[in-house]
Structure 1
Amino acid sequence: MATKKPYTRHDVLFSSGDSSCAAWLYLPTGVTSPPVVILGHGLGATRDMRLDAFAERFAKAGIAAFAFTYRHFGDSGGHPRQLLSIKKQLADWDAAISWVKVRRGIDGTRIAVWGSSFGGGHAITVASRHPELRAAVAQCPFTDGLASALALGPAATVKAFPVITRDLAAKVRRSAPVMIPLAAAPGSLALMNAPDALPGYRAIVPAGSTFRNEVAARVIPSLVTYRPGRAAKNIELPILFCISNTDTVTPPAQTLRYARTAPRGEIKTYDAGHFDFYLGEPFEALVRDQIEFLTRQLAPAPATPAPGRIAPHRR
């Protein structure tokens, strides 16, 4: 007799701004009106780069999962391709929240957001703007663009200036964007060139993926000035920070400083690198901690006694 699958996965296309985002909705089998966690990825990444692994585990634990790809990337809409706009990506989060709130079969009052790397920074921003959410998870989060730029080194920033200038000129001319690699070998021109960056990206790209290791260079100035960690102090809901002690992309010391300002923040640290979080034992440790946190925070609210009735006393 065939074993019943613990979840079903549905392909979704939802509207956002002038285009649409592609997503997967994982619904746990046999759970009526489950809570839901929305998952968004990191810098230039697409949902098939191990967001499905996290979503599957959440669904097996009885939590619906909604993993999406930002506009301009992967199989989502938006032109030109490989355009990273912080404003548009945050609008994609808002659109995803709006979509799950009205989706039949999901409890739209029990929503959490989950972001990894650059998406972890977005999760902080989104949680500070949506107090109606029940919880948030920020995994190896990008919290301070200036700190990340300093970690990359001033020489790398100077080397990027000509590419940024050419891409801004292309924007004015409305011609094809000038690209810069997302990840490359140490010493190379890229947004990330730490020793583990390029192998880390390659390790989580599945065969047949639509992922492209490049992004329009015009994003660099906005990356340096984006400091989502500052919003942590304004988050009213419980948020779990999962931080790498050896992070080469998002410096952990700065992230910890921001995480400690969250009024209801919980912090977990791991002796695994930024790109190790998606695979093997680090993934297992992370997903266990995240399931425990999400299960606790997304549990149904206790029933309120009807007016005029006294709740039974429990010893």
Structure 2
Amino acid sequence: MSDRTTSSRRAILKGIGTAAATAGIAGLGGASTDEEWHTAETPTDSTLHGVEHAVAGAYAVGGGGVVLERGAEGWTKVLDGGPTGNGNDLYGTAVTDGGKRLWFVGSSGAIGEYDVETGNLDDHSAPMDVTNNFNSVAVTGTAGDANVYVAGDSGKIYYSFENGETGTWDDVTPGSGAALPAIDFHGVRSGHAVDTNGTVFATDDGGTWEAIGIGDANVNLYGVDSDAADDVTVVGGGGMVFRHDGAQWTPTDLGDKSLRDVTFDDGDGYTVGGGGAVFDATGGQWSREQTPSGENLTGVSVGDRVVVVGAGGTVLEQ
């Protein structure tokens, strides 16, 4: 089990009472038929790039700076235009411990902090006057007192240990400068990031990073789930999933669909990708889910329901 005291999906799941325990993950199995997926109506046709669960429900972010909320009556738009109002696309999202603050990042240095209880929005965009594209964000700690980590196309990780306040940011380049599509943390200052050169990086202080693989990945990596130093899952091109147990990486080939996001909670995992691909790791092996959409899928989150987002404003729920 993760020692996470942070903003992760796992922290939120424990807060809302949703968890599942499974056996170790093996290879690819048949199609899962436990529950049917359905397509939810959304007030946007922009691509949705990220999704997270918070105390008020699920949230999705995407093109044009849109932020959607999943409430009792379905999906509604709570923000349009992003944190600056300039319509910058949003690509990554994360939540603080307890799920009270939603952080999101995107193009042109966009960084926002949204209070899901009050609707207040704080703009932290362009830290250190940087306006690069930001792809992913991880936050650890409680609302208003979080450590914030942002990864982007420049190959740098920008981080603040003081809730993203102006003047508190620093940066580090963990690898060769290749784009960093995803970052995730399992502890206050411990986590992992991946780049498009097939490299996985680890940190235990939030500021210095070490490459821990993958020597023969041979694919771009796009998603990471960091549960512990010895429990990491990454996904990427060619349907590849790699799991790290602290000693070695174990690959699993799920087919030819590029995989864009992955999440695990107590052994129950999902990964999503191109052509409507959803794979479920419940029960000890990966199984392809039957979904009603052929759109490219980009994000997945598990809470009171499983929510998957993707192109054309697509939201799938189970």
TM-score by length of 2: 0.26
Structure showing greater Rg: 1
Larger relative contact order (CA 8 Å, sep ≥ 6): 2
Where is the helix percentage greater, Structure 1 or Structure 2? 1
Where is the strand percentage greater, Structure 1 or Structure 2? 2
